[in-house]
Amino acid sequence: MSTATRSRHDVVDALHSVIPAARVVVDDSELARYSHDDAEWAPFVAPIAVVRPETLEEVAAVVRRAAELGIRIVPRGAGTGLSGGANAVEDSIVLTLERMAAVLEVNTAERFVRAQAGVLNDALRAAVAEHGLWYPPDPASSAISTIGGNAATNAGGICCVKYGVTRDYVLGMTVVLADGSVVRLGRSTAKGVVGYDLTHLLVGSEGTLGIIVELTLKLLPLAGREERAVVGSFPSLTAAGDAVAAISAAGIIPSALEIIDRTCLRAVDDWQGLGLPHEVDTMLLAKVDEPGVVGDAAAARVAELMAAAGAVSTETAADRDEVARLFLARRLAYPALERLGPVLTEDICVPRAAVPEMLARIQQAAEDNDVTIANIAHAGDGNLHPLIIAPEGDDAAKDRAKRAFDRIVDDCLALGGTVTGEHGVGLLKLPGAGAELGERVLELHRSIKDALDPRGILNPGKAFPA
């Protein structure tokens, strides 16, 4: 029996001693499925085992046993990440929270919800809507991504330009630390400033400081919003960027402001047949949600600014189904492009005024490296998602795609941006994160990591350069 086989057997036996055997997966095909997220070209290996706990106590017991053995733990939600943050590493187990998917409490008086980490974003939104409440963060993956994963990466989404990102709604959480102890952080009250803000330290930490098992999330009233969509068709990507900058400079805060270019439009329409225009170079999709005449005026002003920036046409839709159809194209862009070949996804964020320049630089990076780059963007807050497509099996194209990826990161930093707006650093953005943070700030990160995870077993090598 090889050392590797003996080691796996020992680890699995140890796990069986603290959790029912049926919750420990060792089948090779399943290990392969859980070994990585949706990031293209981020490294991964098969884990020793996959563990599917169903209770807080089981999570804590698994972490304690892994800590005793010195086994690394990679926490995982639904595996929809795009940076390699959930990729298995050497000598690791993957701990998936997908079976912990209960909405535990909806408090209508205080407007919060308590939910386990494995609840899907859309499922939570539907559950609170039954009580007349709304959870705004809505990543494009909301139908398939979990609340715990959203918190681990501080996910944003289409509504975040006006309503903020996941961090803005996390009041508290239950966390299993690296030694298996359980702590409850934060609060359920409207205010609270006792001690350091450890709750928000954990948000966006990508599972490197603790495993988020339960969340308390702030909610807003569902009533009082009247959505209108304003759609501008533009002759170029940079013209759409000019409109974004103009809308921001005018002090208008849409509830959504999204760019989708012709490559994405055609990919979505070829796949889903939504009747999207093929002759348009770039579409800018805006939403305003103020009620009554205020909303009408805001929509009209957005349309005026689009036209002034060079839109060849604009139209306004107030019908709920039509608004949903238009924004469905934005949500489907990534999976539609995946059908064309592997997609290396960027996630940069620049100042809103720099959006036109950054879009121009992205186009130049595509031209200089002879690669196809499709563009979708949460343009209203400067969060751009260039999608670099390389044909399957074309190593030369893959190399060119990686060069374009790195150049876009460099250009983003040169324009005062950040290398990731919502997907997280994971593995793909480690060099960019190092350049952005600088050595002294990296030392602070390492000190915090050492304090909470002295043996370095929680998702090692992710989130920042070690």
- Per-residue exposure over 418-435, b if at least 16 CB sit within 10 Å of its own CB, e if not: bbbbbbbbbbbbbebbbe
Summary mean pLDDT of the chain = 94
Burial of 165 (0-12, 13-18, 19+ CB in 10 A): buried
Asked if 148 contacts 210 with a C-beta cutoff of 8 angstroms, the reply is no
Which parts of 104-234 fold into alpha helices (H)? 121-129, 147-153, 160-163, 198-202
Asked if 309 contacts 216 with a C-beta cutoff of 8 angstroms, the reply is no
Mean pLDDT of 353-373: 95
> Which amino acid does the sequence have at 206?
E
More confident residue, 190 or 116: 116
Q: What is the model's pTM?
A: 0.93
The number of residues in the chain equals: 466
The answer on pLDDT for 391 being more than 70 is yes
CA distance 97 to 119: 9
CA distance 183 to 175: 5
pLDDT of residue 221: 96
CA distance 179 to 18: 15
CA distance 134 to 142: 14
Domains, the chain, with CATH or none: 3-96 (3.30.43.10), 103-221 (3.30.465.10), 224-336 (3.30.70.2190)
Residue range 240-267, pLDDT digits in tens: 999 999 999 999 999 999 999 999 999 9
Distance of CA 112 to the CA centre of its chain: 22
The answer on pLDDT for 464 being more than 70 is yes
Residue range 56-94, pLDDT digits in tens: 999 999 999 999 999 999 999 999 999 999 999 999 999
Mean pLDDT of 325-354: 89
Asked if 454 contacts 436 with a C-beta cutoff of 8 angstroms, the reply is no
CA distance 196 to 43: 35
The answer on pLDDT for 411 being more than 90 is yes
Planar angle of CA 84, 87, 345, nearest 5 degrees: 20
pLDDT of residue 145: 97
Asked if 383 contacts 457 with a C-beta cutoff of 8 angstroms, the reply is no
